[in-house]
Amino acid sequence: QVQLVESGGGAVQAGGSLRLSCAASGRTFSDYGMGWFRQAPGKEREFVAAITRLAYSTVYADSVKGRFTISRDNAKNTVYLQMNSLQPEDTAIYYCAANLFSWGTEVKDYNYWGQGTQVTVSS
Cβ(45)–Cβ(32) under 8 Å? no
Q: Using the predicted structure, report yes or no on whether residue 1 has a pLDDT greater than 90.
A: no
Q: Which range is least confidently modeled, 14-23, 24-33, 46-55? A: 24-33
Torsion of the alpha carbons at 51, 54, 57 and 58, rounded to the nearest 10: 20
Please state the rounded mean pLDDT for residues 31-42: 97
Q: What percentage of the chain reaches a pLDDT higher than 70?
A: 100
